[in-house]
């Protein structure tokens, strides 16, 4: 899928993040390499979304370092993308939305139109090409955001609750797109509250609680017998009083 040098691994060293004197993320030491799908679990307020934003570079840590260590890390082209729970839709058509993203990435006119149409065709969205992006349903907007990301060919894709508030049909469609990214070699790092979804998609689990990363395990081992008491309680559905 890509011939350029890898940007992975991603290393977080002693990463902490404060807001208003309050520590929201504390002491994360982690190395992520590819490929594979990493699902970040934890209760509300655990710091999962902040973790993604720190990894992606939207936020700078108060303490510690976030570093891409691969030989491709020094290249100017962006090789990692983040798709938010509510992705931004432009005042353009579905096709125009993707073309604009490719224009910002530096592709020429013919190349970006070809790549945008290929992305829509890849995910069965060609019929939506001329529809205004902002009037799409929530599921269609999330699919457009993922098609737009696919057109940019990221090596690492961060996803923050990509199926939150979607119906089962839209959720299945988004999960199929995530599977396509994975099959084509993209590293996926994703938050979700849906344990069924985590079981379906995850190769590895990161479990966070109160701003700390307290467990990392292969998905099968985590769901069978988590080591951290907080993780076991989370899987049982116990409320964290």
Give the CA distances from residue 125 to residues 144, 150, 151, in Å, rounded to whole numbers and listed in that order.
8, 13, 13
Query: Percent of the chain at pLDDT above 70?
Result: 96
**Ordered strands of the 187-191 beta sheet:** 80-83, 156-160, 187-191, 37-41, 204-209, 212-218
- Half-sphere exposure (Cβ direction) of 198: Cα atoms closer than 13 Å: 25
Residue among 80, 73, 74, 60 at smallest CA distance from 16: 60
SS3 assignment, position 42: coil
What pLDDT does 3 receive?
A: 61
Would the pLDDT of 83 be above 70?
A: yes
Confidence of residue 44 (pLDDT cuts 50, 70, 90): very high
Give the CA distances from residue 60 to residues 57, 67, 72, 74, 208, in Å, rounded to whole numbers and listed in that order.
6, 11, 21, 18, 19
Mean pLDDT along residues 117-134: 97
- Measure the CA–CA gap between 113 and 97, rounded to whole angstroms: 11
The CATH architecture that domain 35-59+71-87+154-236 belongs to is: 3-Layer(aba) Sandwich (3.40)
- Measure the CA–CA gap between 45 and 131, rounded to whole angstroms: 37
Characterize 36-59 residue by residue with b for buried, 16 or more Cβ atoms within 10 angstroms of its Cβ, and e for exposed: ebbbbbbbeebbbbbbbbbbbeeb
- Measure the CA–CA gap between 122 and 134, rounded to whole angstroms: 21
Domain ranges of the chain: 35-59+71-87+154-236
CB contact set of 152 (below 8 Å; sequence gap of 6+):
78, 81, 101, 102, 105
Would the pLDDT of 115 be above 70?
A: yes
Would the pLDDT of 241 be above 70?
A: no
pTM: 0.95
Distance of CA 130 to the CA centre of its chain: 27
What pLDDT does 1 receive?
A: 45
Confidence of residue 4 (pLDDT cuts 50, 70, 90): confident
- Measure the CA–CA gap between 175 and 191, rounded to whole angstroms: 13
- Measure the CA–CA gap between 174 and 131, rounded to whole angstroms: 19
Q: Report the mean per-residue pLDDT for the chain.
A: 94
Q: What is the largest CA-CA distance in the chain?
A: 57
């Amino acid at each position: 899928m890509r011939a350029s040098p890898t940007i992975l691994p991603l290393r977080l060293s002693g990463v902490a993040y404060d807001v208003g004197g309050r520590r929201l993320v504390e002491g994360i030491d982690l190395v992520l390499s590819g490929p594979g799908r990493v699902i970040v679990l934890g209760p509300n307020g655990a710091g999962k979304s902040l973790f993604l934003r720190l990894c992606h570079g939207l936020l700078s840590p108060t303490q510690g370092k976030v570093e891409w260590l691969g030989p491709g890390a020094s290249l100017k082209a962006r090789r990692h993308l983040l798709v938010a729970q509510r992705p931004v839709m432009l005042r353009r058509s579905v096709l125009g939305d993707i073309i604009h993203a490719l224009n910002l990435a530096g592709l020429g006119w013919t190349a970006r139109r070809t790549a945008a149409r290929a992305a829509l065709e890849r995910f069965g969205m060609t019929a939506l090409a001329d529809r205004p992006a902002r009037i799409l349903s929530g599921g269609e907007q999330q699919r457009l955001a993922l098609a737009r990301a696919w057109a940019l060919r990221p090596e690492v894709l961060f996803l923050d609750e990509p199926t939150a508030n979607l119906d089962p049909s839209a959720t299945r469609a988004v999960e199929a797109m995530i599977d396509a990214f994975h099959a084509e070699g993209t590293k996926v790092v994703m938050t979700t509250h849906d344990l069924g979804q985590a079981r379906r998609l995850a190769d590895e689990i990161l479990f966070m609680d109160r701003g700390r990363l307290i467990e990392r395990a292969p998905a099968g081992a985590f769901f069978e017998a988590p080591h951290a008491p907080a993780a076991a309680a989370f899987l049982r559905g116990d409320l964290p009083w």
